[in-house]
Chain A
Amino acid sequence: MSALQHEDRVLIQTAVDKFIQDHYAFDERQARLQDAGPAGRHWRDFAELGWLALPLPEAAGGLGGGIEDVQLLMRAFGRGLIAEPFTEVVLMAGKVLEAAASGNAHETLLADIASGSERLILAADFETSSCAAQPTGEGYRLDGTSAVVVQAGAATRYLVGAQLNGEFALFLVPRSAVGLTLCEYPTIDSRSAGDLTFDAVLLPHGALVAQAEQASRSLFDGLLFTLAALVAEAEGIAAALTEITAGYLKTREQFGVPIASFQALQHLYADMVLAEEEIRSLAWLAANALHMEDRGARERTLRAAKARTGKLGMAMAETAVQLHGGIGVSDEYVVGHYLRRMIALDATLGSADEHILYLAGQY
């Protein structure tokens, strides 16, 4: 549901379209990635444009936007191949923190996320955590690893999921904590991820954000919100791919005619359009499904939408590459980068196969 007024949404749409046009030209991509810094070149702009505050509660310095407002941004971010860690900081970590810190002292951190001064990154997934926290006299001791934390290098702090007394708990861990190591590597979508290792990291009592039911419910709600946003990002990519591919098919000539005149290619293109339409419908569905009362039904719906989006997104991007022929597999052309982002999207928060397996287990 959109929480903003229509006029505000129009302003956001105009701003994000203009931003991508002015600052995110694909052919300047190399330079942009090279001097990106830990959070991309434009993190400050994201803050100034209000995007970092968009989905966070007004009481905590946010704009109180809903999933549909976020989806509007995400569609544009998909098209623009935005490399900044918006999803990771504002959605995954931000929305989990919003629920987990509700009414406690950590709520002020939301305002720092909204202003861009703190970048919180979530180290937890749907899967059970492989980190464990032990109470000590002064607080907690944290041990374990968290693998493939996307954009881990952008963090000023981590929000870490760990088992505490047999229950799930969320802790705030500073980037510079003693005993915390980060092993970073590039990802297929030209961003980065990292593996976090916690080796006897000592935390004060105040590092505990939430535990037990509140912690797992917060994680669950935040991740489902993120899934609905990721489907919208895929929608933005899909729309860009069908548009760019149509342009190519209509202008590229072989055998003396535009290749759009070949039925074999028309049918492949039709499959791309079908995928785009389906993903757009899934993004709409996912936004509505977030408001479902039944928690189980909500989870099944979001997971099914993510699974289907992952499969369709990769398949249609592969087709876009194929329809471009050689130019499609050139690094200097945008289509291959959309495919690479679709792969990363599928791998984020559970691949299609993993969600399907979960769903099959529910029958």
Chain B
Amino acid sequence: MLKLSQQEQDFRDEVRAFIAAHLPADIKYKVDNNLLLKKSDHVRWQKILHEKGWFAASWPEEYGGKNWSAVQQYLFDQENALAGAPFISPFGVNMVGPVVYTFGNQAQKDAYLPGILSSDTWWCQGYSEPNAGSDLASLKTPARRDGDEYVINGTKMWTTQAQYADMMHMLVRTSSAGRKQEGISFLCVDMKSPGISISPIVTIDGLHHTNQTFFDNVRVPVANLIGAEGDGWKIARFLLEHERGAIADTAAKSRALAAIRARLRLLEADGMNKDRLLQFKLRTAELDAQTLALIAMEQRYLTEWQKRSAHPAEAAALKVRGTELQQTISVLVADLHGPYKMAYDAAYIDRGEMPENRSPAQEASGGGHLYLYGRCASIYGGTNQVQRNIIAGSRLR
């Protein structure tokens, strides 16, 4: 386990107490029961954190942050997830924010950072394309320079939350000369620009999280280019590196396992067949051990990354183990509902209400949602096969 200084322990206790006192009950209910969080839920919680000064707190102070150490940010993320608070939507604060204060000019910092801090500007990400998934560098969407503007034509896949977004940070092709990584640029695009249209993609859970976004002669000021033309690949790598600490998301697993153990106690009290109960307990103990190992891996890396730079294979290891564990846990959650495992009411998950008398079928639907949407986790952000290539390549090459 991470050895915390007295200061760090006090900090963790303060975070825990604050979240317990301020997390709205209806939002916690959704998280605890695997219902769909809406933008308004995220914004409400992020504004509460912002008011406390704990949103974007690992940003440098000059940009509105608190210079939190990696350990502080980790402790906060753990407490946030353990308490059943919404995950922090990463597209603004964890992705484009650090890009803007690292690579942006003063005008861009002034234009973008305040809206991210206040959560009044909602961001999404436009990277993948229909033919550029695992092979992201082959992306084609051209941004043609026309005076003080770029003109964008093309389409972006898996633009999660684009239906909510005010801005998109996207990778475009500004040159087809040289290596394919070299002609990529990083643009910030106003989602109200004429020529942008959004087509919802309903995912395997029957819900609308993500989209395909189309660009038809969309004009974007050159002032919205971050860094120089051709810096896009470098910036995207920086951005993904910046996300690495949160990849394993172990606290969400710990919370799910605590809920599983609580359910086992209920089933035991209800007189479930002892052998059946033992079957479930064995699976739970196995997952507890796996979670412990993942937490160890995550904390060891966190400690080492304070002394040296991270290796891509380490982030890949966290991604593979984290998503596999998430998926195995979700199967157990679903199985604990017995024959109700078959029930799945997507409309109920979408409504996210707190019914007074929840039916067993509604309760089981949360488990189904966790399982179904969890199938995406081993695909997005680089499939687990790509991650394994990175891991093998780091030792075999």
Contacts and interface: CB of A to CB of B under 8 A. Distances in A.
B203 A147 contact: no
A327 B346 CA distance: 20
A148 B340 contact: yes
A166 interface: no
Interface in A182-240: 183, 185-189, 193, 195
A188 B368 contact: yes
A254 B138 contact: yes
B342 A264 contact: no
B184 to A, nearest CB: 16
B342 A347 contact: yes
Contacts of B279: 353, 357
Interface string A337-363: 001100110111001011001001100
A328 B158 CA distance: 12
Given A325-B379, A326-B128, A353-B335, A344 B204 contact: no
Contacts of B371: 343
Interface string B335-356: 1000111111111000000000
A253 interface: yes
B290 interface: no
A264 B134 CA distance: 14
Given A331-B206, A357-B276, A186 B345 contact: yes
A193 B131 contact: no
Contacts of A347: 339, 341-342
Given A148-B339, A340-B372, A326 B344 contact: no
Interface string B179-208: 000000000000000000000011110100
B359 interface: yes
Interface residues of A, number: 44
A360 B345 CA distance: 34
B5 to A, nearest CB: 42
A243 to B, nearest CB: 20
Contact of A339 (B204, B359, B376, B380): B204
B203 A186 contact: no
Task: Pick the most buried of A150, A256, A347, A360: most chain B CB atoms within 10 A of its CB.
Answer: A347
Interface string B160-185: 00000000000000000000000000
B343 A193 contact: yes
B343 A255 contact: no
B382 to A, nearest CB: 11
B141 interface: no
A329 interface: yes
24 contacts: A147-B360, A148-B340, A187-B343, A188-B341, A188-B342, A193-B342, A254-B131, A254-B135, A255-B135, A262-B385, A265-B385, A322-B378, A325-B134, A326-B158, A328-B379, A329-B203, A330-B204, A331-B206, A336-B375, A340-B204, A343-B334, A344-B342, A346-B341, A357-B275
Given A186-B346, A322-B383, 9 more contacts: A193-B343, A195-B359, A195-B360, A255-B134, A322-B385, A325-B133, A326-B158, A326-B379, A351-B335
